[in-house]
Amino acid sequence: MLQHVDIFFFLFQTFSPASSPVVFFCIFNIIEKQEVKRFMWAYVKPSKGRFILTYPGNVSERFEYTGDKVHNCSLKIHEVSHYDAGKYFFRYNANKGCPAKRLVLKVIDLNISVPKETIKEGDSVNLTCKNRCDGEEGSYGYSWFKDGEAINEGPVLHLTNVSSKHSGNYTCSLKMTNGTTSGVAHVDVEYGPKNTSVLVRSSSETGADGSIVLICCSDAHPPVENYSWFKIADSWIQKVGHQPELLPVDGGQYSCSVSNKHGSQNSTVFTLKKKNRKYFAKAVAFYELVFGKCIKKLIRFCFLALLYNFFKHPRQTIMFFFLQLIGHL
């Protein structure tokens, strides 16, 4: 014979984020006063059912009975997983029938599906927010966020003609729940080289000898993989380097070419004027420094030789200078 039992669930349908705890608030009332000797919580799916907690009987680390033997039949589930989604009911003593009142648990485990591993500039991409714990895909309202800012609603976020401004961290959430968000989906838009140009710099800025350095600059993602330098003279193009920087040996027209896996680009032609008077003045100063020392050494040698000859042959040396003096008068 079935016990006359009134069972009240505070929530008949509840939602819980995966890995978080959930509590089923339950109250039972015995019309025919009898001692409670046995109770159980059961889990039911269309294809199967199982008892998850019985008293006296099994003790579970994840399923905790937080009620008593009088009126409170509450149950706490620790670390909810998507396998816990389904219907639950409470029964006690000799009640062999399943009460009509069942508590429905739906577990929220949101994740974002990104169809492409590599997204490049100009592509169109759809990001899909899914609750893998619920088969009713798209049955709830979804909100989308980029770097924490709300941007759109709906289960699918459409990104068309993407550019670098679409790069960022995307998350989604269910509108009907607070504080439940998906994991982060990072969108990284790649593109070929652009804004390629040649910059000029004096190596004196780095403490070198003041020579000119040409630098090939480009905006690319992933970064530039290959560099090529060219010199143009009388419609003849000569390859002169393959590094980001070039130390030109003389003036002329120069350009650089860069590439990554998404494309390549050439810079505009840069004209480097021939070395000016500043470099000529440096060359003259160097010449004077080197040869000036040699002249000074020669004069010193001649003076010492003359002095040695004077002490060795004083009469002949005096006569030599006297004759030289008369010859210049």
CB 182 within 8 A of CB 143: no
pLDDT at 295 (0 to 100): 64
Residue-by-residue pLDDT tens, the chain, 329 positions: 334 445 555 544 455 565 678 888 887 776 666 667 777 788 877 666 677 777 766 667 788 888 887 778 888 888 887 777 788 888 776 554 455 567 788 777 788 889 888 999 999 999 999 876 655 544 568 899 999 999 999 999 999 999 999 999 999 988 776 667 788 999 999 999 999 999 998 765 444 455 789 999 999 999 999 999 999 988 789 999 999 999 998 888 999 999 999 999 999 999 988 655 455 455 445 545 555 556 666 666 666 666 656 666 666 656 665 555 565 55
Domain-wise residue ranges, the chain: 7-108, 110-187, 192-272, 287-327
pLDDT at 150 (0 to 100): 92
pTM of the model: 0.61
What are the distances in angstroms from CA 150 to CA 129, 179, 266?
Answer: 14, 14, 40
Contacts of 185 (CB under 8 A, 6+ apart): 112, 114, 127, 169, 170, 171
CB 186 within 8 A of CB 199: no
In CATH, 192-272 is 2.60.40.10: yes
CB 65 within 8 A of CB 53: yes
Structural tokens at position 126: 């759809």
pLDDT at 240 (0 to 100): 92
How far apart are alpha carbons 142 and 139 in whole angstroms? 9
Q: Say if strands 48-55 and 63-65 run parallel, antiparallel, or are unpaired.
A: unpaired
Question: Is the bond leading into 56 cis (omega within 30 degrees of zero)?
Answer: yes
The number of residues making up the chain comes to 329
Note the Cα 222 to chain centre separation in Å. 11
Structural tokens at position 211: 């020579």
pLDDT at 230 (0 to 100): 95
Task: Extract long-range pairs of 134-141: CB within 8 Å, 24+ residues apart.
Answer: 134/85, 134/106, 134/107, 134/108, 140/174, 140/175, 140/176, 141/174, 141/175, 141/176
How far apart are alpha carbons 152 and 163 in whole angstroms? 18
DSSP class per residue in 211-267? -EEEEEEEEEESPP-EEEEEEEETTEEEEEE-SSEE--SS-EEEEEEEEETTEEEEP
Domain 7-108: CATH architecture, name and number where available: Sandwich (2.60)
pLDDT at 220 (0 to 100): 95
CATH class of 110-187: mainly beta
Structural tokens at position 175: 């509108």
How far apart are alpha carbons 168 and 182 in whole angstroms? 15
Q: Where are the alpha helices (DSSP H) in the chain?
A: 277-312, 314-327
